[in-house]
Structure 1
């Protein structure tokens, strides 16, 4: 099925984030992409759009941690990406390089990957100097060691991950950054041997399926067992909506993927994750030229992320008990708490076998 044959009326998003407050810094005010963000925000009905006299984001804290969190999650800041954010960074095992369209996420995942890595209130910051951000693709095309030149993933070319510090689809309706990046890469502006990739928990793909993407973008949907998704992934599209969006973009010719994460050994995990894989198989059935990958990531946390998450979600039922975990140290001496070796081995063996049996079209890129 071609893009023209898609019924776009069926692609109305089930979950759409519209900020209550939009703050535009002085440095970002006159940039061309800022005008596009303002246009989209006004179209979405945002009433509070403020141009700041300076570049500092102030007045974000409430009387309590919960008030600060709630206000920040309803705020979009339009800022200029600093020089440190413009230099692509290696991002194994996902991609050759990381480039950031934004920093911060509007969702309410109780295991949030960003907790502990972002400074201050969790405001979503969209980068207005989009040309500078995307120029990293130009300077780093043909370089890298994760996919570029490898036997297993060399057909992907040089890969650029867009979703390390945000969910770019979750904010796309009010930024347009993702559509701009996909269109420019699809048109070959940065060469023909590059590929964008991003992960999302949202389903707002109506605009994306109309783009001339040149099959140079892989859209991966973050999926999980129903119990995990329903309990811990607030403010996101539900699993059936994500799978419907997965089918829609695959029908539109995009390369697609699954980010099965974070895996948790909940009671009945084999049955729940088995049902998930069966649902994915049904969602992609009958699609011509399907290019489907899978990345599987187990749940882990750090002391810093646990402290932040308990401040954001004091009543969470998410298991973060150090006594039930094993320590994993980074080369820089940082500590992560992961599942014990026996649990990891058992889950990895099951997922590897069941992914091949239930979803043979999927190519497993890595497990971590």
Structure 2
């Protein structure tokens, strides 16, 4: 079984978050934790931008929690993981996946920040859903419902160990007629099986070959545990999709991914197979994160940093990242499609890039 990824010893809290009912609940949940008042959940010098914290990367993620109030409550269009990106109810993660884009953006260990004003977040989503109305044309995201990604900047399954934000979101989407929530996860939290989503929530289990995950997916649930959870979540009323992200290419990757597909196929019931779909995202890396990783987990970079196969790419937010070279990546995508179609022909790819 997975070891819980949190052992909160220090809580950095905005005054307004400490006064909020959800904030008080969280503080009461961790009575032994040291409390430190901070002016802003975003600008905490000894967490964000402090390179000395690299050596404490994993310990910080496990033991530090930040509580704040989400100031900007807006819904953004997406079109990939969801039709829309909901206002974040958290930012950062207790797990330590070495390729994490949130670390690239926010800096260093980036432990969980929980936003306590969940009622405002839910109200924003509900108003947006009411204005949007029914989905009249199916798309790759969903055939009937407008899908809101509620976990863009963290892992909701771990967030649920802290408070009931995810439970509240699940209750919201259970009653919204034309909307569905969605999030990707690398942590099997079986408490979620009691949430009664009523078909209103999509959980996307992230998968990669197990041996690769032992190096790259630090502090996450083992791949066999994630695969074994799929049927249980389907039976509990969740829609379950797969998130092959990132797909990492290395010598022997096709054999390892073929074996992964066979493991998934052997574990799924007919009911799970009938509702299954996948999203596929090939690795994007970053030179700054590469340098950081070399200081705390250099073994991972042997697989992630492969200049002979990679080229620079300027992302939408202006960051300079690296990705697999375009002509080569096109061939990689074709190979992945062929392997998945051969081993799991029922698994529709929603999008791949």
TM-score with structure 2 length normalisation?
0.87
Query: Paired residue for 2:19, among 17, 22, 30?
Result: 30
Query: Is this contact kept in 1: 2:206–2:243, CA < 8 A?
Result: yes
Query: Is this contact kept in 1: 2:230–2:272, CA < 8 A?
Result: no
Q: Deviations over 1:215-244 (max 9, x none)?
A: 010000110012320111111110011112
Query: Paired residue for 1:166, among 147, 154, 172?
Result: 154
**Shift in Å at residue 65 of structure 1?**
3.2
Q: Deviations over 1:51-108 (max 9, x none)?
A: 627556465588933345345312011111122xx11222332212212110001111
Query: Paired residue for 1:139, among 127, 144, 150?
Result: 127
Q: What is the rounded CA distance, in whole Å, between the counterparts of 2:334 and 2:109 in structure 1? A: 40
Alignment of 1:307-346 (within 5 A): 307-314=291-298, 316=300, 317-330=302-315, 334-346=319-331
Q: What is the rounded CA distance, in whole Å, between the counterparts of 2:305 and 2:202 in structure 1? A: 32
**Shift in Å at residue 326 of structure 1?**
2.3
Q: What is the rounded CA distance, in whole Å, between the counterparts of 2:136 and 2:285 in structure 1? A: 30
1:216 aligns with 2:204: no
Over the aligned positions, Cα root-mean-square deviation in angstroms equals: 2.7
Q: What is the rounded CA distance, in whole Å, between the counterparts of 1:102 and 1:278 in structure 2? A: 34
CA 1:108/1:168 → structure 2, altered by over 3 Å: closer, same or farther?
A: same
Q: Give the equivalent residue in structure 1 for 2:57.
A: 69
Alignment of 1:148-163 (within 5 A): 149-163=137-151
1:117 aligns with 2:105: yes
Secondary structure, counterpart of 2:67 in structure 1: strand
Q: What is the rounded CA distance, in whole Å, between the counterparts of 1:48 and 1:173 in structure 2? A: 15
Alignment of 1:170-209 (within 5 A): 170-186=158-174, 188=175, 191-205=176-190, 207-209=191-193
Query: Is this contact kept in 1: 2:10–2:36, CA < 8 A?
Result: no
Q: Give 5+ residue unaligned stretches, structure 2.
A: none
Relative contact order (C-alpha < 8 Å, sep 6+): which is higher? Answer: 1
Query: Is this contact kept in 2: 1:104–1:122, CA < 8 A?
Result: yes
Query: Is this contact kept in 2: 1:250–1:290, CA < 8 A?
Result: no
Q: Give the equivalent residue in structure 1 for 2:219.
A: 235
1:52 aligns with 2:37: yes
Query: Is this contact kept in 2: 1:255–1:290, CA < 8 A?
Result: no
Q: What is the rounded CA distance, in whole Å, between the counterparts of 2:38 and 2:310 in structure 1? A: 48
CA 1:276/1:114 → structure 2, altered by over 3 Å: closer, same or farther?
A: same
Mean alpha-carbon deviation: is it higher for 155-164 or for 248-257? Answer: 155-164
1:301 aligns with 2:292: no
Query: Is this contact kept in 1: 2:65–2:112, CA < 8 A?
Result: yes
Query: Is this contact kept in 1: 2:79–2:141, CA < 8 A?
Result: no
Q: What is the rounded CA distance, in whole Å, between the counterparts of 2:130 and 2:335 in structure 1? A: 36
Q: What is the rounded CA distance, in whole Å, between the counterparts of 1:312 and 1:143 in structure 2? A: 47
Q: What is the rounded CA distance, in whole Å, between the counterparts of 1:338 and 1:63 in structure 2? A: 25
The count of corresponding residues between Structure 1 and Structure 2 is 345
Query: Is this contact kept in 2: 1:115–1:309, CA < 8 A?
Result: no
CA 1:151/1:201 → structure 2, altered by over 3 Å: closer, same or farther?
A: closer
1:349 aligns with 2:337: no
Q: Deviations over 1:267-323 (max 9, x none)?
A: 211111011111111222233684211001111123343344445535543432445
Secondary structure, counterpart of 1:246 in structure 2: helix
